[in-house]
Chain A
Amino acid sequence: MRWVNVRPNRRSATALGAVPLLLALIAYLFASAARHAANASDKVLPTPAAMVAAMRSLLLDADPLSGQVIFWADTAASLERLGLGLGICTLSALLVGMVLGVLPAARSTFGAFVTTIAVIPPIALLPILFIVFGLGETAKVALIVIGITPFMIRDIADHVASLPQEQLIKAQTLGASSWQLALRVALPQALPRLISGLRLSLGPAWVYLISAEAIASDVGLGYRIFLVRRYLSMDIIIPYVAWISILAIAMDFALKQLSRRAFVWAHQSHR
């Protein structure tokens, strides 16, 4: 049998997918053990036991200064910023993207403007955001919004504008007004695309969140990583990075499930 025809079934696909992860984990354990054999106080590749010990107090004990458990306070602060940012992005992208996609006149007027905004590197705007909004929460949320919204607007606008012309004509021959066309034909078909755009934006959103937290913050997952870097605390940084990955995977999975449940028609194979 040719290699191109070897298709794993569901169960073996899961098993195959786990292999590289396990290999990476085993490689880490060996490397860590080797370094500790050479130098018992090595900090670069901490052993799992060292990570558990370092995380224990962050996970269980309240911080004497703030009275909060640091790990959960960091998680809550980061998720709140991310949630606010993504929420604002999603709503504004849907609104603006729909208008641009449905109305050719709006596309002619604002299309080039959105494209121009989209090419500005958002991190370059971070100083401006700090100057305008101060060092508080607003600037961090604003960075996520500015970083992602232009991409999502363009994605939705392109998707809506590329709906088959036949559908739009058909809706008009069935008596639909511009508003009804937008509401009943364009909007429902934009929603699954919105979710997939959001899923693609999760990666950049985390980048902007952690950048903003690294530069000016007093709580948050990104802040903590950059803070303990000064003490070379890999035993805290690695569990935090793993936790961020788990959160990102969980959000992606939840959005995928939401799309499958809510938009059955969009996930059927087309003939």
Chain B
Amino acid sequence: MSDLLAFDNVWLEYGDKIVLERVDLTIAERSFVSIVGPSGAGKSSFLRLVLGQEAPSRGRILLDGKQLAAECGPDRGVVFQRYSVFPHLTVLRNVMFARECAAARLTARLFGAARRRAAEEAEAMLAEVGLDDSLHLFPAQLSGGMQQRLAIAQALIARPRVLLLDEPFGALDPGIRQDMHRLILRLWDEHALTVLMVTHDITEAFKLGTRVLAFDKRRIDPHAPHRFGATAVYDLMLKNKLPLETPEASVTSITIDRFRNNNQE
């Protein structure tokens, strides 16, 4: 497997606040990288760097051996926890958007045969995520899980080199979340994707990932906590994933209850 993404001594600083320090990583093509860590450990900042929303203050990020431009581009697709579909477009038009932007520079709209082709392609993509009977609904008419399916289909039709997921399933119900896990693994396999997923849910990280990165600060100066940045403190390559059916830690109880004290029947 060749390296798709490489981080070469990457730092991210705001003034004298250091968010990320000395991030040295390579990410292989076709891998599914879960990124976990406590709040404020720079997980989302890391994703923003890959996305091009921000530029590293030091170091380089290479995609396919070329330095990454500090601007979002169609080589990187993204699904956020919320707000990543267009509320004013129907499901079908949401997915056609990437094709329309690529084919019509000026109007960003397609007509006639080109439009039919784009629509057919979008319909096929929507069928893959199970939204083929909701083509003409608006996102506000969809449930949370369906909106995330739509966001995934919309991103995949642009054929990104890397798919970035920022807590994509965080706002969903546990049952829906399991369906989404199955879906994303299937798409990862069928489309030969490289995925970077930020999550709060450790179980999810180990169910889906082929590799788990844990971000945290290596050192903390109690007098100046902002002077040390976070980095990937654990980097685990997984041979065996957790089975998809593994119940979530929070499903049966909100307390950590190893001795089943709460289930008195």
A interface residues with partner B (beta carbon < 8 Å):
164, 166-167, 169-177, 179-180, 183-185, 188-189, 263-266, 268-271
Contacts and interface: CB of A to CB of B under 8 A. Distances in A.
Given A265-B140, A271-B144, A172 B83 contact: no
- Chain B's interface size range is 35 or more
B143 interface: yes
23 contacts: A164-B82, A167-B83, A169-B78, A169-B80, A170-B84, A170-B86, A170-B151, A172-B73, A173-B51, A173-B76, A174-B97, A174-B98, A174-B154, A174-B155, A176-B97, A176-B101, A179-B106, A180-B101, A185-B86, A189-B88, A265-B88, A269-B140, A271-B143
Interface in B108-156: 108-109, 138-141, 143-144, 151, 154-155
B105 interface: yes
Nearest to A174: B98
A184 B94 CA distance: 11
Most buried by A among B74, B108, B155: B108
Contacts of A177: 101, 105
B158 A174 contact: yes
B72 A172 contact: yes
Contacts of B53: 169
B83 A188 contact: no
Nearest to A189: B88
A67 to B, nearest CB: 50
A180 B107 CA distance: 7
Contacts of A164: 82-83
Nearest to B79: A170
Contacts of A174: 74, 77, 97-98, 101, 154-155, 158
Given A164-B82, A173-B155, A268-B141, 12 more contacts: A164-B83, A166-B83, A167-B83, A169-B78, A171-B101, A173-B72, A173-B160, A176-B97, A180-B101, A184-B109, A189-B87, A265-B139
B101 A175 contact: yes
A65 to B, nearest CB: 53
A175 B154 contact: no
Given A180-B101, A184-B97, A271-B140, A172 B71 contact: yes
B74 A175 contact: yes
